[in-house]
Structure 1
Amino acid sequence: MEEDTGLNILAITIFTITLSALLSPLLHFSPYIPAGITFVLLGLVTIDTLSWKNQGVNLLLNIFASEEQKQRIIYHEAGHFLTAYLSQIPVTGYTLTAWEAIKNNNSGLGGVIFDTSFLEKKSQDMREFNRLLDRFGVVLMAGIAGEKVIYNNSQGGEEDIKKFQEINRNITLTATNFQMKQRLAILQATTIIEQNKDAYLALVEAMKQRKSVTECQDIIAEYHQ
Structure 2
Amino acid sequence: MATPTASPHSLLASASASARAFPFHNRSLRSPRRGPRLRAGSVKEWREFEDEAGAVKEWREFEDAVRRRDLSRALRFLQSVEPAAAGTAVTQVVAAPVPPGRDWEVLDACIDADDMRLVGRAYQFLVDRGVLASFGKCKNIVLEGPREVTPTVLKEMTGLEASKLAPKKWGLSGSSPYVLAGFLGGVSFLLTQGIDLRPNLGAVLALATADALFLGGTGLAQISSFWPPYKRRILVHEAGHLLTAYLMGCPIRGVILDPFVALRMGIQGQAGTQFWDAKMEKELGEGHLSSTAFDRYSMILYAGIAAEALVYGEAEGGENDENLFRSLCILLNPPLSVAQMANRARWSVMQSYNLLKWHKKAHRAAVKALEDGHSLSIVIRRIEEALASDR
Deviations 1:155-200 (A, max 9, x none): 1111111111122213332322211110110010011111212211
Alpha-carbon contact 1:83-1:192 (below 8 Å) kept: yes
Look up the match of 1:68: 229
Structure 1 unaligned regions, length at least 5: none
Alpha-carbon contact 1:89-1:136 (below 8 Å) kept: no
Distance 2:206 2:287 in 1: 52
Taking structure 1 as reference, are residues 152 and 98 closer, same or farther at Cα in structure 2, changes over 3 Å only?
A: same
Identity among equivalent pairs (%): 26
Deviations 1:113-163 (A, max 9, x none): 223676554254946x44222101000100111111112211111111111
Note if 1:131 corresponds to 2:292: yes
Q: How many residues get paired?
A: 213
Equivalent positions of 1:86-97 (< 5 A) are: 86-97=247-258
Deviations 1:53-76 (A, max 9, x none): 32222223224x3x3322221111
Alpha-carbon contact 1:149-1:190 (below 8 Å) kept: yes
Taking structure 1 as reference, are residues 4 and 199 closer, same or farther at Cα in structure 2, changes over 3 Å only?
A: closer
Which of 212, 220, 224 is residue 57 of structure 1 equivalent to?
220
Note if 1:39 corresponds to 2:202: yes
| Residue 4 of structure 1: how far off its partner (Å) | 5.2
Alpha-carbon contact 1:3-1:57 (below 8 Å) kept: no
| Residue 49 of structure 1: how far off its partner (Å) | 3.0
Distance 1:41 1:126 in 2: 48
| Letter of the structure 2 residue corresponding to residue 59 of structure 1 | Q
| Residue 104 of structure 1: how far off its partner (Å) | 6.2
Note if 1:208 corresponds to 2:371: yes
Look up the match of 2:59: none
| RMSD (CA atoms) | 3.6
Distance 2:168 2:268 in 1: 12
* Pair member with larger Rg: 2
Distance 2:207 2:286 in 1: 49
Secondary structure at 2:330 match in 1: coil
Look up the match of 2:337: 174
Alpha-carbon contact 2:168-2:315 (below 8 Å) kept: no
Q: Which has the higher helix share?
A: 1
| Letter of the structure 2 residue corresponding to residue 185 of structure 1 | S
Alpha-carbon contact 2:269-2:320 (below 8 Å) kept: no
Which of 189, 197, 203 is residue 360 of structure 2 equivalent to?
197
Distance 2:260 2:372 in 1: 16
Moved over 6 A (4+): 26-29
Alpha-carbon contact 2:277-2:297 (below 8 Å) kept: no
Distance 2:194 2:206 in 1: 27
Which of 274, 277, 280 is residue 113 of structure 1 equivalent to?
274
| Length-normalised TM-score, structure 1 | 0.75
| Range with greater deviation from structure 2 (75-84 or 49-58) | 49-58
Taking structure 1 as reference, are residues 3 and 94 closer, same or farther at Cα in structure 2, changes over 3 Å only?
A: farther
Secondary structure at 2:253 match in 1: strand
Secondary structure at 1:165 match in 2: helix
| Range with greater deviation from structure 2 (46-55 or 192-201) | 46-55
Taking structure 1 as reference, are residues 100 and 191 closer, same or farther at Cα in structure 2, changes over 3 Å only?
A: same
Structure 2 unaligned regions, length at least 5: 1-166, 172-176
| Length-normalised TM-score, structure 2 | 0.46
Look up the match of 2:92: none
Taking structure 1 as reference, are residues 3 and 100 closer, same or farther at Cα in structure 2, changes over 3 Å only?
A: farther
| Residue 93 of structure 1: how far off its partner (Å) | 1.1
